[in-house]
Amino acid sequence: MIYKRILGQGLTFIMVLLFIIVAGSVILSKISGGTPTFYGYQLKSVLSGSMEPVIHTGSIVAIKPGGDTSGFKKGDIITFHADENRLITHRIVEVVRNEQTNQVIYRTKGDSNDAPDIEPVLSANVVGRYTGFTIPYVGYILSFAGTKLGNVTLLIVPGLMLFIYAVISLWKTISSLEEKKQGSSIEEANPKTT
């Protein structure tokens, strides 16, 4: 009986914590402009196979934003703006520094691509450096969470599960109390004599 209660309380705690984390991350990402962050690192979805086998399609990667974007070297993996709405994570294959303007341009290439990217990357377009932290397949979920349907699903489904769990727990508690009440009523009606 004690194990069931501890298991039930543990499950309740986990459900509440999960709901708070999911709801909080969705709300915070919307408030901050849509980029989920975790302790100062940005989490980005990788939806192409250009960096396989280092980064698999559907993974999320942690990017360390900011810093000196002109200080990267050959071999570093960076995330940069290819255009206004598209981010790319590729490896630097060449660093070109214009001595007159002191501007840095990176030539990049996806590890599984045959040739370097056509457009060079200005250091001003670099979002951050790949930290080496990857979680496979979670990028699909993160991309789904960015949609309207994903927002609704990730807020409503955990809340609905928590509500159903609360109703079941309440029903079991009420049933248990009624059984105890009926048991004590029977004892009062038939007192034991010795």
Report the length, in residues, of the chain.
194
* Gyration radius from the chain CA atoms: 27
Of the candidates 29, 45, 48, 184, the residue annotated as catalytic is 48
Task: Establish whether 48 is a catalytic residue.
Answer: yes
Neighbours of 82 (CB within 10 A): 14
Taking the C-alpha atoms of residue 192 and residue 153, their distance in angstroms, rounded to an integer, is 58
| Class of residue 121 by CB neighbours under 10 A (exposed 0-12, middle 13-18, buried 19+) | buried
Sheet of strand 121-122, all strands in order from the earlier edge strand to the far edge: 37-38, 41-45, 60-65, 126-135, 77-83, 86-98, 103-109, 121-122
Taking the C-alpha atoms of residue 64 and residue 98, their distance in angstroms, rounded to an integer, is 25
Q: Give every CB contact of residue 75 below 8 A, 6+ residues apart in sequence.
A: 91, 92
Looking up tokens 């703006």 gives 81
Please identify every residue annotated as catalytic: 48
